[in-house]
Amino acid sequence: MAKRFTQSSINWSALAERVPAEQRVNLTGFKAKSDGYLRRVLANPPEAPKIDWALYKKTVPIPGMVDTFQKQYEALKIPYPADTQSAKVDAQWAEVKKAIDAFIAVSNANIAKYEKEIAETKALLPYDQMTMEDFRDAYPNEALDPINRPSYWPHSPEEALDYVDPEKQAHAAHH
């Protein structure tokens, strides 16, 4: 005999938290259908009613008819449908769980990286208290370095001392 359901196994409040606002109407309709189905199932007894075969044997005049019905009734087994979907759902959940775990791992790595950056930024001197030397020490690539990287106004790559025009260089390479 199949297991008798006595209540819904769905945590509706947890599900409602995850459903977007525009889908709440659909969730409410689905919950109403599910609750209605559960009420109809619970309205029926869990077992089929017992038949008083002795009473029928006394009242039915045809000999052997009640015995034949009784054998057929007791031999009748209504099969409960086999659960063919739970394994598929479990397999899908395993795949989704792997994706969730991978996302969590990547997110935790990003969080650690950003927390490190935040700690480094908080450890810096405030800009209003920083000297040019402090700025150079904190940001060596952005700081002005007139000896190693001289720059002339308008400070574009074309104005650098060792600038070579890529178009002229490509043209010279072809000839």
Cβ proximity of 150 and 161 under 8 Å: yes
Q: Round to whole Å and give the CA distance between 14 and 12.
A: 6
Residue 80, SS3 per DSSP: coil
Token couple for 56 = 């029928």
The mean pLDDT of 99-107, rounded to a whole number, is: 97
Residue 73: the pLDDT is 87
Given a cut of 90, whether residue 103 has pLDDT beyond it is yes
Whether this prediction's pTM lies above 0.75 is answered by: no
Phi–psi pair at 51, nearest 5 degrees: -105, 135
pLDDT of residue 45: 82
> What is the pLDDT confidence band of residue 29, given thresholds at 50, 70 and 90?
very high
10 Å Cβ neighbour count for 151? 14
Q: Is the peptide bond before 154 cis (omega within 30 degrees of 0)?
A: yes
Percentage, residues of the chain above pLDDT 90: 27
Res 1: pLDDT? 46
> Is there a contact between 24 and 16 (Cβ–Cβ < 8 Å)?
yes
Average pLDDT over residues 35-57: 85
